[in-house]
């Protein structure tokens, strides 16, 4: 999360909006993996203006890997972010909405809340669970004057592509991430406005093959299962030969006050942390100091996740960095395609 950019955007809204017609925005930090803090966050939210008219829930943590390679800790973390966090937030605002007999809760979910795709076991399970919760909630609170909407979308294209790409319009190729079939942030924003304005109960934003697959799953389940199984054979062969690299194996926490990036680890019930430390130079840029990983977690991609998070931060903030840590230097050499070297000074 880029806290400075959020605060800058909030200030921009204050500057450009009419204070007579709108409330000033307030930015509140929320961590779904720390459920003990949620009651205080909810209290802060409701204390701002006394009530909420609309709640848009847009949290997601994605992990892609064979089921047997995912730890129970990772499964729980994904469920916290994608299921327990959103429903806790919704339950927290419901009493206020019910007492006023007014309100709208909108869940930005995923097409994988409708379809279970291979190598997304935990992610798909979390999205199915949260979809079911809000489908049930919609019926429960309708008589109280509260609307519940869900948006099930395919992946978001952060930037439009200008290259012509030839892809196969097969079920699996579309469902597993061919970029031409994604949606833009602008399309997503318009869908949210549409759902809020019309109080539409459900919007599905996906390629027509993805939509057809939803019906195929219900009407022709054996055919659907066969297509899924056939489509992952090559991936299974690669996994047996080379192992699997998780797309998001660890969650990195950036503590700006302590100037460090941290990964919480579970070593047989014993909590441990991996840490990358940095300092601010006199010119405002960064000095990446050290990376420390518990011995039992070395060689498992923990240090790589920390290095990537720190270097991505340098790029996002358009900073320069000097490096003392040998591992970060090694990581940059092994990943020249990320463009980190441009931001590094001797």
Contact, 307 vs 327, CB < 8 A? yes
- Whether 123 is a known active-site residue: answer yes
Other C-beta atoms within 10 Å of 198: how many?
Answer: 11
Other C-beta atoms within 10 Å of 1: how many?
Answer: 9
Tokens 């919480």: give the residue: 264
Other C-beta atoms within 10 Å of 240: how many?
Answer: 9
What angle is formed at CA 339 by the lines to CA 335 and CA 342, rounded to 5 degrees?
A: 125
State both tokens at 132: 């079911």
Q: Which residues contact 167 (CB under 8 A, 6 or more apart)?
A: 173, 178, 180, 181
Contact, 287 vs 321, CB < 8 A? yes
CA 275 – CA 47 distance, rounded (Å): 35
Coil, strand, or helix at residue 262?
Answer: strand
Kindly name the residue from 49, 123, 250, 331 that is annotated as catalytic. Answer: 123
CA-nearest of 216, 106, 103 to 152 is 106
How far is Cα of residue 22 from the mean position of the Cα atoms in its chain?
A: 29
**What's the alpha-carbon Rg for the chain, to the nearest Å?**
22
Contact, 103 vs 93, CB < 8 A? yes
Report the DSSP beta bridge partners of residue 275. 262, 292
Tokens 């599905």: give the residue: 204
Burial (0-12, 13-18, 19+ Cβ within 10 Å), 152: buried
Report the DSSP beta bridge partners of residue 203. 151
| Catalytic positions, written as ranges | 123
């Amino acid at each position: 999360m880029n806290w400075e950019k959020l605060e800058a955007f909030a200030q921009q809204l204050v500057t450009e909006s009419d204070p007579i017609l709108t409330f000033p925005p307030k930015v509140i930090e929320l961590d779904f993996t720390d459920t003990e803090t949620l009651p205080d966050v909810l209290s802060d939210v409701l204390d701002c203006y006394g009530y909420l008219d609309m709640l848009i829930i847009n949290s997601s943590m994605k992990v892609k890997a064979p089921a047997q390679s995912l730890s129970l800790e990772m499964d729980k973390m994904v469920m916290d972010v994608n299921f327990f966090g959103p429903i806790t937030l919704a339950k927290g605002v419901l009493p206020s909405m019910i007492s006023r007999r007014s309100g709208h809760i909108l869940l930005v979910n995923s097409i994988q809340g409708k379809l279970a795709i291979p190598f997304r076991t935990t992610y798909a399970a979390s999205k199915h669970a949260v979809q079911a919760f809000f489908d049930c909630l919609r019926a429960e609170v309708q008589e109280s004057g509260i609307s519940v909407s869900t948006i099930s979308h395919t992946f978001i294209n952060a930037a439009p592509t200008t290259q012509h790409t030839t892809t196969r319009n097969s079920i699996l190729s579309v469902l597993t991430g061919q970029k031409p079939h994604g949606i833009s942030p602008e399309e997503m924003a318009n869908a949210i406005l549409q759902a809020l304005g019309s109080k539409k109960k459900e919007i599905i934003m996906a390629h027509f093959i993805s939509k057809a697959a939803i019906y195929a799953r219900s009407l022709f389940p054996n055919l659907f299962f066969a297509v899924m199984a056939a489509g992952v054979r090559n991936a299974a062969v690669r996994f047996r030969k080379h192992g699997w690299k998780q797309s998001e194996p660890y969650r990195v926490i950036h503590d700006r006050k302590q100037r460090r990036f941290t990964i919480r680890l579970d070593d047989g019930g014993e909590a441990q942390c991996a840490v990358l430390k940095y300092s601010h130079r006199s010119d405002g840029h960064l000095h990446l100091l050290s990376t420390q990983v518990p011995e039992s977690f070395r060689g498992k991609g923990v240090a790589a996740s920390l290095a990537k998070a720190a270097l991505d931060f340098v790029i996002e903030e358009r900073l320069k960095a000097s490096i003392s840590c040998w591992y970060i230097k090694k990581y940059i050499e092994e990943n020249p395609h990320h463009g980190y070297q441009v931001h590094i000074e001797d």
